[in-house]
Amino acid sequence: MREYLLNAFATLFVTIEPIGLAPIFIALTSGMPEAHRRRVAISASIIAAGVLVGFAFFGGPVIEFLGISLPAFRIAGGLLLFWIAFEMIFDVRAERKAAAAQADQAQGDAAATAAFPLAVPMMAGPAAIAATIITAETAPNTGAFAIFIAMIVGIIALCLVVFLLATRFDMLLRRTGRIVLSRLFGVVLAALAVQFVADGVKAIVAA
């Protein structure tokens, strides 16, 4: 059981990667008021935790029932993520936000950003979902499964702490720093998106 829990924690931590999400959170929420950024962080964490816990309980049977493969999740997530990367690289996202600067629209945009792409697929992405389903189905007993669920919640809570601290760091970047960071991580996200698609295609071909 100890080996199972250690492997479960390592797998989840690596696939979710809370520390690595900090600069992506800053880039995705660039230009948002502090209150909206906090709302994005909290909402994204709640959504991601709900998605992963839900897949831990029902992922295996649901995917099998629908006939959907995990490689298909990778390809779909990669394509959607590539569009967000495109917006970040060419500053389309910033222009779109500037055109929708009213308070109610900003609040709606914050909610949309929390759900996609931050919660899904950045936090609860194809790799994290796959790891969650596989780990949940291989739990040796009910106690180990319960601890695994607690691990999911704990790692997502760590993501929330990282996000809340990241907003303070953003104040030091100023506009020029945010522009550079947005372009840089747009490229990183594009590469990650391509990798998602490539892994999904290879898995489908191998099957």
pLDDT of residue 102: 41
How far, in whole angstroms, is CA 197 from its chain's centroid?
16
pLDDT at 103: 45
Helix (H), strand (E) counts: the chain: 8, 0
The pLDDT of residue 117 is 84
- What's the pLDDT score for residue 170? 63
Residue pair 26/179 in contact (Cβ under 8 Å)? The answer is no
Span 134-169, pLDDT tens digits: 899 889 999 999 999 999 999 999 999 999 988 676
What is the model's pTM? 0.74
User: Cis link prior to 121 (omega < 30° from 0)?
Assistant: yes
In this structure, the chain runs to a length of: 207
Q: Please give the distance of CA 6 from its chain centroid, rounded to a whole number.
A: 22
Phi, psi of 125 (to 5 degrees): -90, 180
Q: What percent of the chain stands above pLDDT 70? A: 87
Domain ranges of the chain: 2-206
Say yes or no to pLDDT of 191 above 90: no
**Selected residue with higher pLDDT from 110 and 65:** 65
**pLDDT at site 108:** 53
Q: pLDDT of 30-68, one tens digit each?
A: 778 888 889 999 999 999 999 999 999 998 788 778 888
Plot region of 127 (φ>0 → left; ψ -120 to 50 → alpha; else → beta): alpha
CA-CA distance, 8 to 151, in Å (whole number)?
8
> Is residue 84 over pLDDT 80?
no
